[in-house]
């Protein structure tokens, strides 16, 4: 079990400070810990000033893409006469990622507060928190928190007595990874199949219900609270070197590692220390072989790359991968990389919404070929075929699910090609030769 | 209930389900946005979402049954046929897969006498499926039994987990 666990001394617990503290889940407990002070402060500010503080803080989207949050909020034009909406993306489904789940089950009021602040900042009266249907526990706590916040007049038609209307509603998904894609989420929220939409128009112009919409990840919205309380400078200072990546980041750590769980460190933290010290290193008698540092959609890192990485948006890119969602998956020397990658491909084949041909066909064929190689039935041409399919799956579809399937395949073949070749060379049965004989 | 029993509306006037739906509708600028929540109510009340259930929801939200079916079939969590009293979902996606999730799934199949994924046991009690990423990868292997979310399941724990169920 991950919680309650004592934070490691090298962690900087800003967002995860109350993980494992059951009282922080209730309104009374949250207020005792300084809850809703940031919202009170925000409601006394001009929306543009809130946007500026967030801009100044350098906060970037924590869902995977890393887009500057303040800039995203500034795309919402005040006084355009249209209703604005805030969507909170709590459809956390990227394999390896479970930080938003912890945020919602331990600090649900933080998300209500973050949503209310953001809604006010972008001129929205309604915020929808779209939570994946499998998250029964986060759904329970979020529903409770919203109910409590309404009853206390913190949200509703007269939020905190300011006369401003801020509604926050929890919307339960029904099982579809793709609904974590922002436009698919909006379609799903509207009562449609969760097919991603073609962009442009971008959500800030035409989002949910065709109206200007901002969509943010759970962690991003909650991060706005300490930023408003402590100021942009305080947040910017939580970075070990790179001014483009500021603040703290939650990482979900899983796979073959001694202490899996959710950890929070400042941007620029050395990945090597993180893996071996903070998270306890590999299981007894094992060695790490590879890391997927940001959910299965990002390129796989060799240990050499991982150990040279500084944990921030640019740091992961410099070492052949991406920060992504912060879902760190450790793969040790007992695992077959081919089997791991084949299972990733199967995931994407299952989750493709099937509206684009390259994705629908590409994910299915990639899975089929990888499983053939895994089972000792692969041929040398299969690797070329996989790379060829991957190329056709990249940059050719409405959303990036297709690219996300191609990424681990390409990086896996490039960095762990020997494992593929060894399996192909050892195959016991060749269908053509067997047929001729 | 069997699929052939006469259909009893879920959202009868004055009933709890209808009240629930009526409370949801004003949260959205369009009634259609309550489609997913309405289908969840149907599934909660009936255990699955039948064609008749879809038609009832369609009627309430001014949609066609075909449209509703199109939406239902998109999402994995709506049961389009009756399932066991205990619907067991075992996460076997990569992060759990490398921590032994397949053995957990096998243990459930063995101890529930279902034998095969997606098949309901002859006593109607269990259906076991593999599910894609439950979003609790640090607590491998997560398992959902109906609405209950259980972390860190190992094959050894499976008999005890099942013994708790009536």
For the record, the structure tokens of A352 come out as 């493709």
**pLDDT band at A1, cuts 50/70/90?**
very low
pLDDT of residue A31: 98
Q: Is the pLDDT score of A426 beyond 70?
A: yes
Q: Is the pLDDT score of A434 beyond 80?
A: no
Q: Is the pLDDT score of A435 beyond 90?
A: no
Nearest-angstrom CA–CA distance, B61 and A131: 22
**Tens digits of per-residue pLDDT, A393-406?**
999 999 999 999 99
- Angle ∠(A93,A97,A103) on CA atoms, nearest 5: 95
Scanning every residue of chain B, which has its alpha carbon at the shortest distance from the alpha carbon of A186?
B33
Closest CA of chain B from A425, distance in Å: 24
**Tens digits of per-residue pLDDT, A50-91?**
999 999 999 999 999 999 999 999 999 999 999 999 999 999
Q: Which of B74, B138, B139 sits opposite A176 (nearest CB)?
A: B74
Q: Which of B76, B131, B137 sits opposite A98 (nearest CB)?
A: B137
Scanning every residue of chain A, which has its alpha carbon at the shortest distance from the alpha carbon of B58?
A191
Computed over every residue of chain B, the mean pLDDT equals 95
Show residues of chain B in contact with A335, CB under 8 Å.
98
Scanning every residue of chain A, which has its alpha carbon at the shortest distance from the alpha carbon of B36?
A191
**Tens digits of per-residue pLDDT, A13-33?**
999 999 999 999 999 999 999
pLDDT of residue A66: 95
**pLDDT band at B56, cuts 50/70/90?**
very high
**Tens digits of per-residue pLDDT, A187-245?**
999 999 999 999 999 999 999 999 999 999 999 999 999 999 999 999 999 999 789 99
**Tens digits of per-residue pLDDT, A168-195?**
999 999 999 999 999 999 999 999 999 9
pLDDT of residue A241: 76
Q: Does A68 touch chain B (CB under 8 A)?
A: no
pLDDT of residue A429: 55
Nearest-angstrom CA–CA distance, B99 and B140: 7
Q: Is the pLDDT score of A98 beyond 50?
A: yes
**pLDDT band at A144, cuts 50/70/90?**
very high
Q: Is the pLDDT score of B4 beyond 90?
A: no
pLDDT of residue B144: 97
| pLDDT above 70 as % of chain A | 97
3-state secondary structure of B70: helix
**pLDDT band at A6, cuts 50/70/90?**
confident
Nearest-angstrom CA–CA distance, A274 and A258: 12
Contacts of A417 (CB under 8 A, 6+ apart): A383
Show residues of chain B in contact with A167, CB under 8 Å.
27
Contact B133 A94 (CB under 8 A): yes
Q: Is the pLDDT score of A157 beyond 50?
A: yes
pLDDT of residue B5: 73
Contact A95 B149 (CB under 8 A): no
Show residues of chain B in contact with A190, CB under 8 Å.
30, 32-33
Contact A176 B98 (CB under 8 A): no
- For residue B110, what is the enclosing H or E element? helix B101-112
Q: Which of B63, B71, B135 sits opposite A97 (nearest CB)?
A: B135
pLDDT of residue A437: 53
**Tens digits of per-residue pLDDT, A278-311?**
999 999 999 999 999 999 999 999 999 999 999 9
Residue pairs spanning A and B at CB distance below 8 A: 143
| pLDDT above 90 as % of chain B | 95
Q: What is the 3-state secondary structure (H, E, C) of chain A?
A: CCCCCCCCCCCCCCCCCCCCCHHHHCHHHHHHCCCCHHHHHHHCCCHHHHHHHHHHHCCECCCCCCCEHHHHHHCCCCCCCCCEEEEEEECCCCCCCCHHHHHHHHCHHHHHHHHHHHHHHCCEEEEEEEECCCCHHHHHHHHHHHHHHHHCCCCECCHHHCCCCEEEEEEECCCCHHHHCHHHHHHHHCCCCCCCCCCCCCCCCCCHHHCCEEEEEHHHHHHHHHHHHHCHHHHHHCECCCCCCCCEEEEEEEECCCCCEEEEEEECEEHHHHHHHHCCCCCCCCCEEEEEECECCCCCEEHHHHHCCEECHHHHHHCCCCCCCCEEEEEECCCCHHHHHHHHHHHHHHHCCCCCHHHHHHHHHHHHHHHHHHCCCCCHHHHHHHHHHHHHHCCCCCCCHHHHHHHHHHHHHHHHHHHHHHHHHCCCCCHHHHHHC
Closest CA of chain B from A199, distance in Å: 22
| pLDDT above 90 as % of chain A | 95
Show residues of chain A in contact with B40, CB under 8 Å.
133, 172, 174
Q: Which of B33, B97, B136 sits opposite A101 (nearest CB)?
A: B136
Computed over every residue of chain A, the mean pLDDT equals 95
Suggest the residue from A87, A174, A325 to mutate for an interface test with chain B (most B CBs closer than 10 A). Answer: A174
- Torsion, CA A155, CA A212, CA A196, CA A220, rounded to 10: -50
């Amino acid at each position: 079990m991950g919680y309650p666990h004592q934070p490691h001394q090298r962690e900087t617990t800003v967002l995860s400070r109350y993980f494992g503290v059951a009282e922080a889940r209730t309104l009374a407990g949250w207020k005792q810990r300084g809850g809703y002070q940031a919202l009170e402060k925000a409601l006394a500010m001009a929306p543009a000033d809130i946007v500026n503080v967030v801009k100044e803080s350098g906060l970037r989207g924590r869902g995977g893409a890393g887009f500057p949050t303040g800039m995203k909020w500034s795309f919402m034009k005040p006084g355009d006469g249209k209703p604005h909406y805030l969507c909170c993306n709590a459809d956390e489904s990227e394999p390896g990622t479970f930080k938003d789940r912890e945020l919602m089950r331990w600090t649900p009021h933080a998300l209500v507060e973050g949503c209310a602040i953001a809604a006010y900042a972008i001129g929205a009266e309604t915020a929808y928190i779209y939570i994946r249907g499998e998250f029964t526990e986060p759904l329970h706590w979020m529903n409770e928190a919203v109910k409590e916040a309404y009853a206390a007049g913190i949200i509703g038609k007269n939020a905190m007595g300011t006369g401003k209307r801020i509604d926050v509603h929890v919307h339960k998904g029904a099982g579809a990874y793709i609904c974590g894609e922002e436009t698919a989420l909006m379609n799903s929220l509207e009562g449609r199949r969760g097919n991603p939409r073609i962009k442009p128009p971008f959500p800030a112009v035409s989002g949910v219900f065709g109206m200007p919409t901002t969509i943010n990840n759970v962690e991003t919205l909650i991060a706005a609270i300490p930023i408003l309380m402590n100021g942009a400078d305080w947040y910017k200072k939580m970075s070990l070197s790179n001014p483009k990546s500021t603040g703290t980041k939650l990482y979900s750590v899983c796979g073959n590692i001694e202490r899996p769980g959710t950890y929070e460190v400042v941007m620029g933290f050395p990945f090597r220390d993180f893996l071996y010290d903070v998270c306890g290193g590999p299981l007894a008698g094992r060695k790490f072989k590879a890391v997927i540092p940001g959910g299965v959609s990002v390129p796989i890192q060799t240990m050499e790359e991982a150990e040279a990485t500084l944990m921030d948006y640019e740091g992961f890119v410099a070492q052949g991968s991406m920060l992504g969602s912060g879902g760190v998956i450790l793969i040790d020397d007992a695992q077959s990389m081919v089997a791991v990658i084949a299972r990733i491909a199967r995931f994407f084949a299952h989750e493709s919404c099937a509206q684009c041909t390259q994705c629908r066909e590409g994910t299915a064929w990639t899975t089929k070929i990888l499983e053939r190689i895994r089972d000792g039935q692969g041929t040398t041409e299969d690797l070329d075929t996989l790379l060829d399919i991957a190329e056709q799956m990249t940059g050719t579809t409405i959303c990036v699910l297709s690219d996300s399937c191609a990424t681990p395949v390409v990086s896996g073949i490039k960095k762990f090609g020997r494992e593929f070749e060894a399996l192909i060379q050892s195959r016991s049965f060749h269908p053509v030769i067997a047929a001729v004989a | 209930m069997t699929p052939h029993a006469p259909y009893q509306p879920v959202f009868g006037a004055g009933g709890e389900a209808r009240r629930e739906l009526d409370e949801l509708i004003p949260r959205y600028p369009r009634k259609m946005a309550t489609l997913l929540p309405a289908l969840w109510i149907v599934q909660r009340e009936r255990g699955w979402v039948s064609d008749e259930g879809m038609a009832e929801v369609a009627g309430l939200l001014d949609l066609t049954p075909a449209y509703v079916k199109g939406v239902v079939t998109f999402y994995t969590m709506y049961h389009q046929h009756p399932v066991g009293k205990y619907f067991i979902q075992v996460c076997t996606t990569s992060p759990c897969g490398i921590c032994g999730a397949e053995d957990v799934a096998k243990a459930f199949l063995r101890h529930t006498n279902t034998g095969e994924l997606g098949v309901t046991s002859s006593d109607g009690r269990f259906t076991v499926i593999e599910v894609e990423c439950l979003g609790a990868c640090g607590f491998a292997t997560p398992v959902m039994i109906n609405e209950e979310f259980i972390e860190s399941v190992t094959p050894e724990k499976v008999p005890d987990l099942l013994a708790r169920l009536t």
